[in-house]
Amino acid sequence: MTDQESEKLNQALPVDPRELEIVFAEFGATVHAAQCLEYALGLLMALLTKYEDAKFKGGPDESLSAALSSQTLGELFRTVRKQEFFTSAQRKTVHKAIKQRNQLVHSYLVDKAEYFLGARSRAKLVKDIRKRRTNLREANAIIDGMIDHYLKEHGTSIEELHDFWEPLVRSDEELPDHFID
């Protein structure tokens, strides 16, 4: 799309695109939190499969889909319960976060499209997105605690893994110029 075509499209929109930046920034941060939770659950599933003989249907992507997430979480919590106590509230927090993750990834922006039109409705949308991010982070903290339990039991920790990987990850300074604005 050329700059001229983009400008024409922006003029046809009922909202100045700059007013939408906060919504998309918050949405991006929340999707990132959802992705972190998904990866943490995948790691926990791998640990449970290796150390506790847990059985999950499909890989982490399939297991966390809307269709299988209840079964996956049920197996996950049944297996973890053998080793570690967790509360009903923690279980509900993780279950709710998985539902929110699935909605965010698959339908949230489409379902909330009308909220983009007015300033007050955009503010409500941003508030809702931030609340979801808080829920996802709470669930992630619960899952991280479970992961840390298994890693410590088997001789390592999240911190050790982080220290191992950090030097291997390229910093922004090393990225080619075309990756940087």
Domain boundaries, the chain: 18-166
Which residues contact residue 158 at a Cβ distance below 8 angstroms, ignoring those fewer than 6 apart? 144, 147, 148, 151
Structural tokens at position 14? 């009922």
pLDDT class for 32, splitting at 50, 70, 90? very high
pLDDT digit string, tens, across residues 66-100:
555 666 666 666 666 666 667 889 888 988 998 89
Could you tell me which residue, 161 or 50, shows the higher pLDDT?
50
What is the torsion angle, in degrees rounded to the nearest 10, for the CA atoms of residue 9, residue 13, residue 19 and residue 20? Answer: -80
Q: What is the pTM of this model?
A: 0.71
Which residues contact residue 126 at a Cβ distance below 8 angstroms, ignoring those fewer than 6 apart? 22, 23, 26
